[in-house]
Amino acid sequence: GCMIWDDSRWDHDLLDFHKRLITLRKQSQTLQRGGFQMLLTETDTLAYQREGCDNTRFIVVAHRGEEKRAAAPLSVHHADIADGTVFTEFFSGQQLTVVDGALPLPALPQGATLWQAAC
């Protein structure tokens, strides 16, 4: 459809969400020019890592299924992520720690999560 110019009809929460993502990308050398590595591909779910440029790494986990993805560890050993690395989810602030080469992901509804950690 065409652009709705009446801002009283806009989804302001969605607009703010996109603004936060745009700001994060503009401020992060890693998201602009960092390395890319696939971590997981499953039916309806994928995860990848961006790491490098500014001593920051991000893990994006996207799930498109109608049913939640069950809580399960995400193997990160092959991505050279050390045990004890703490990741913080960008939107919720939830923190997870890598244990035995895996990030213990919670159940995931449809959508995406963005996890950030220092390298």
Q: How confident is the chain (119 residues) per 10-residue block, as mean pLDDT?
A: 90 92 94 96 97 91 96 96 96 96 96 94
| pLDDT in the model for residue 74 | 98
How far is 12 from 5, CA to CA, in rounded Å?
13
| pLDDT in the model for residue 119 | 81
How far is 109 from 52, CA to CA, in rounded Å?
29
How far is 38 from 48, CA to CA, in rounded Å?
4
Rg (CA), the chain: 16
Q: What is the dihedral of CA 100, 103, 104, 108, to 10 degrees?
A: -160
Tell me which residue of 29, 28, 47, 25 sits closest to 38, measured CA to CA.
47
